[in-house]
Chain A
Amino acid sequence: MASRTRHYLNSIYSSLKYTASFAVWIPAVILFTDNVYSLERVTGRSMSPNFCPDPTRKDYIIARHWNATKELRRGEVVMFRSPTDPSRQVVKRIIGLEGDLIRTRHPYPQEITVVPRGQLWVEGDEAFHSLDSNTYGPIPIALVTGRVTHIVYPLDRMQRVDDNEGLARRGALVRKREQHGKVGVYGL
C-alpha cells in the first residue's frame, strides 16, 4: 500500500517537474510577443475590405513590435492602444504625420486641422464604421504598439500588408508637412 502511494506521488512529482521545465520559459514568450512579433485577432468593420471584409469572421494578423514607433510612414497600418479605452488595441491606417494639414470628417469640430508635434492622424479604411481620429483627434505616437505586417488567417486572404497611401480617404490629406518646417504643440 505504502509503495503504491509512493509510486503515485513519484509520478505526480515527475509530471510536475516536466511541466515546470516548460513553464520556466514563459517569460521568453512574453518578451517575444511584447517586443518582437505577435499574433493578434482583428474584429469589426472599421478596416474592411482590407481587414475583416466579412464582419462575422475574425482576421488573424502578425504585428511587428520591433521599433514600432520609429520612422512611421503615411499609409502604414499600425496597432495602437485606444485613447478612449486603454484596455483595447485597435488597428488603423496612418493618414497624416506631424505637421500635415488634414481635411477632417463629420464628428470633428474643425473642418481643417494640423497634426500637432509627436502625434499621428489615423483613420479606418471604412469611413462610416470607424471610430478614429475624426472622433478622438490625433493620437500620440507613444500609443503605437506595433505595425501590421501580414494577414495569416483566413488562408485565402493570406498576404503581406504594405503601406498604401492610396487606400486613405480621398482628400483627407490636404498638404504634407513642409520640409524642415517647425511643428507646434497645439494643446489647448
Chain B
Amino acid sequence: MASLLHRQLRILPLTFLWTHLFWTKCYSVGDTLGASMLPTINVSGDWIVISKFHSRGRGIIVGDLVSYAHPIDGPDVNVVKRVIGLEGDFVVKDPSDGSGDMLQVPKGHIWTTGDNLPHSLDSRIYGPVPMALVRGKVIAKGLPWGWIKNPFTEEVNQ
C-alpha cells in the first residue's frame, strides 16, 4: 500500500520533467506579435510551433522560418524571421534602398529579414545573426492551422 502511494507521488514530478524536456529539446508552442512577418504570420493571435531539433541553426536552409533570441534586445526577446543567407552567401544589404550593396555573411552567421520588409527590424538594422542564437525552426502556425513551408523547396499555395 505504501509503495503504491509512493509510485503515485512519483508520477507528478516525472510528468513535469519529461514535459519540460520535450518542450526545450523537441517542440514548443508560442504566440507571436507584430507586422514584420505578414502575410505568413498575422499581426496578432497567431500561434507557432517551433522545432527545437533545429536549435543553433542545425539543418537550417535558405527560406526557412527561424525563431532566435534578439542580438540587441537580449535573451528575453525572441523574434521570428526568414533566413535569406547562410554563412558564406552573398546577400544584398538592403533591397529597398536601391543601392544594391552586397556583403558576405560571416562564418557561423545567418542573414534574416521579415517577410514584410517595410515593417521589419532585422539583419538590415543589426547585421548578421549568430546561428547559436537560433532557438528553432518554425514548422507550423495555429488558428487557423497551416504548415509553414519553405518557398524554395516546397510548393506554397496561398
Contacts and interface: CB of A to CB of B under 8 A. Distances in A.
B20 A31 contact: yes
A27 B20 contact: yes
A75 B73 CA distance: 22
Interface centre among A69, A83, A142 (most CB of B within 10 A): A142
A27 B24 CA distance: 11
Interface stretch (B42-50, B102-110, B112-120, B136-144): B102-110
A187 B109 CA distance: 14
Given A81-B130, A86-B132, A143-B130, A185 B21 contact: no
Contacts of A1: none
Given A27-B18, A31-B21, A185 B132 contact: no
B107 A85 contact: yes
B75 A28 contact: no
Interface of B: 13-14, 17-18, 20-21, 24-25, 56-57, 69-75, 93, 106-109, 124-127, 130-134
Contacts of A116: 72
B112 to A, nearest CB: 13
A69 B71 CA distance: 13
Q: Which 3 A-B pairs have the closest CB atoms?
A: A81-B132, A142-B69, A140-B71
A126 B59 CA distance: 34
B21 A30 contact: yes
A14 to B, nearest CB: 15
Interface string A32-70: 001000000000000000000000000000000000010
A84 B107 contact: yes
A142 B75 contact: yes
Interface centre among A31, A118, A139 (most CB of B within 10 A): A118
27 contacts: A24-B14, A27-B17, A27-B21, A30-B25, A31-B17, A31-B21, A69-B74, A69-B75, A82-B108, A84-B106, A84-B108, A85-B108, A86-B132, A86-B134, A117-B72, A118-B73, A118-B74, A119-B71, A141-B74, A142-B70, A142-B74, A142-B133, A143-B132, A143-B133, A185-B72, A185-B126, A188-B126
